[in-house]
Amino acid sequence: MTAVEPILPAAADLDGRRPPLGAWAYFEGGLVPFGSAQVSLATHALNYGTSVFEGIRAYRQADMSLALLFGHEHFARLLRNGRLLRASVPESADDLVGITRELLRRNEHDGDVYIRPILYKAAHSIRVQLSDLDDRVAVFTMALGDYLPTGGIRVTVSSWQRVADNAIPARGKIAGSYVNAAQATEDAHAGGYDDAILLTADGHVAEASAANVFVVFGPEIATPPLVDDVLPGITRTAVLEIARDAGYAVAERRIDRSELYLADEVFLTGTGVQVAPVASVDKRPVGDQAFTVSLDIQARYFDAVRGIDPRYAHWLTPITQESHP
Ligand SMILES: Cc1ncc(COP(=O)(O)O)c(C=O)c1O
């Protein structure tokens, strides 16, 4: 199992709990049983990767109620990214938060939840274009166990180059562009690593397969700028805010490959990985094997998403009041 991608839990992990996939999905304008939410073989998005998607988490709070993390921000990003595909749908970001709330109430997952919205070209068409292809938005949910890697993850710098803004914009979270990430992950796993860090065409650090990258040098925490072919990660923004609030010096600046080998610490951020310390890059251990800063940021992040730190309560949308054991 990769340390960084949220994936479907194996049946053996379920331990008698409810199945991971939610019984209901939002599909073609309504809530339907998950099994009926099916697209045709001729669907444009299936043939050409013409969709944008999101990954959102809902976290159990201290009282076991469920709260959506950055729900509005994720749906706003989805709809904005749709513009890259000339896609638009009648649902607003607020509508989609409401739909997700209803879905989560019906699906009654145990524990934390992963939510996958997808805005896609639904037309049955083999025309290679973007307009007039019947845009739709769908949402499904799954229970998500705690896949937090312990002891730091091992990453490699990929020989695959991050997809450039002039090819398929990395900032767009466009489904087709994830072939780029999948190529890098595949090679990383084959080489015994947990994940890959991809570089831009001119050799600067871009991001990991499904996460943003941070380096720590003394009191400075730095992450590549958005123009270096990265997704403007919502967790990236949250971590920059947490780090500033905690008194760290933060910088969005270009990062050379060599800095990955020289940094005191490297960590990844994303909805899936949350805040994941990196133990080694290309088998070179990072400087501080205690992950002092990474674990400090990680602890602050968990306090925020579990509703323990009231400064970040506005990041959360309450979903259910009732408790699930
Ligand atoms: C390529 C890529 N970079 C970064 C991220 C992290 O983004 P976020 O923090 O919005 O989940 C993701 C995950 O969605 C991703 O797929």
The CA-CA-CA angle for residues 287, 291, 295, to 5°, reads 160
Does ligand 1 come within 6 angstroms of the Cβ of 55? yes
Does ligand 1 come within 6 angstroms of the Cβ of 235? yes
Distance CA 57, CA 69 (A): 6
Interval between CA 229 and ligand 1 midpoint (Å): 12
Rounded to 10 deg, the angle between the 234-245 and 292-305 helix axes is 110
H-helix segments, the chain: 44-48, 71-82, 93-107, 178-190, 234-245, 257-262, 292-305
Does ligand 1 come within 6 angstroms of the Cβ of 211? yes
CB 213 within 8 A of CB 223: yes
Does ligand 1 come within 6 angstroms of the Cβ of 270? yes
Q: How far is CA 40 from CA 37, 86, 179, in A?
A: 10, 21, 21
- Considering just the CA atoms, what is the radius of gyration of the chain in Å? 19
Q: For residue 17, what pLDDT is reported?
A: 52
Q: For residue 217, what pLDDT is reported?
A: 98
**C-alpha distance across the termini of the chain, in Å:** 26
- Whole-model pTM above 0.75? yes
Ligand 1 atom with the smallest distance to the CA of 237 is 9
Distance CA 66, CA 113 (A): 9
Distance CA 298, CA 195 (A): 19
- pLDDT tens string for the chain (325 positions)? 334 444 444 443 445 555 599 999 999 999 999 999 999 999 999 999 999 999 999 999 999 999 999 999 999 999 999 999 999 999 999 999 999 999 999 999 989 999 999 999 999 999 999 999 999 999 999 999 766 566 899 999 999 999 999 999 999 999 999 999 999 999 999 999 999 999 999 999 999 999 999 999 999 999 999 999 999 999 999 999 999 999 999 999 999 999 999 999 999 999 999 999 999 999 999 999 999 999 999 999 999 999 999 999 999 999 976 554 4
Ligand 1 atom with the smallest distance to the CA of 230 is 3
Residue carrying the six token digits 């639904």: 122
